[in-house]
Amino acid sequence: MHYHIILTKECNLNCNYCGGGSDSPPKEIQYRICDLKSFLLRDSAPVIEFYGGEPLLRIDTMKKIIDAIPAHFVIQTNGLLLDKIEPEYLKKFHSMLVSLDGTKEVTDRERGTGVYDRIMQNVNLIRRRGFKGDLVARMTVAQGTDIYDNVRHLLGTGLFDHIHWQLNFEMFWEAWENTEPGLEDWINSYNSGISSLVNWWVSEMESEGRVHGIVPFIGVMKSLLSGAGSRLWCGSGIDFFTIMPDGRISACPVSVDFDFSVIGSIFENTPHSLCDKAAVGEPCVSCDIFHICGGRCLFVNRSQELLRENGYALICTTVKHLVRELQGAMPWVQALIENGILSMSDFEYPEINNGCEIIP
Ligand code: SF4
Ligand code: SF4
Burial (Cβ within 10 Å: 0-12, 13-18, ≥19) of residue 130: exposed
CATH number of 2-347: 3.20.20.70
CA distance 47 to 2: 5
Sign of CA dihedral 38, 44, 50, 51: negative
Q: For a pLDDT cut of 70, what percent of the chain falls above it?
A: 93
Domain ranges of the chain: 2-347
pLDDT 10s digits, 70-109: 999 999 999 999 999 999 999 999 999 999 999 999 999 9
Cβ of 221 below 6 Å from ligand 2 = no
Q: Is the CB of 307 under 6 A from ligand 1?
A: no
CA dist., res. 273 & res. 248, Å (int): 14
Using the predicted structure, report yes or no on whether residue 168 has a pLDDT greater than 90.
Answer: no
CA–CA separation, 157 and 124 (whole Å): 11
Average pLDDT score over the chain: 93
Going from the Cα of 51 to the center of ligand 1, the distance in angstroms, rounded, reads 27
At 19, the pLDDT band (50, 70, 90 cuts) reads: low
Q: Quick: pLDDT tens for 188-229.
A: 999 999 999 999 999 999 999 999 999 999 999 999 999 998
Residue range 278-318, pLDDT digits in tens: 999 999 999 999 999 999 999 989 886 666 566 788 889 99
> How far is ligand 2, taken at its centre, from the CA of residue 348, in Å?
21
CA distance 72 to 203: 35
* 357 CA distance to ligand 2 middle (Å): 7
Q: What is the pTM of this model?
A: 0.95
| The pLDDT of residue 222 | 94
User: Using 50, 70 and 90 to split pLDDT, how confident is the model at 177?
Assistant: low
Instruction: Look at ligand 2, atom 6, and give the residue with the nearest C-alpha.
Output: 297
Structure confidence by residue, pLDDT tens digits, 110-123: 999 999 999 999 99
Q: Candidates 4, 298, 301: which one to mutate for ligand 2, based on the most atoms within 8 Å of Cβ?
A: 298
pLDDT at 18: 76
Alpha helices in 104-214 (DSSP H): 104-111, 115-128, 147-156, 169-177, 183-208
Count of C-beta atoms within a 10 Å radius of residue 61: 17
pLDDT at res. 244: 98
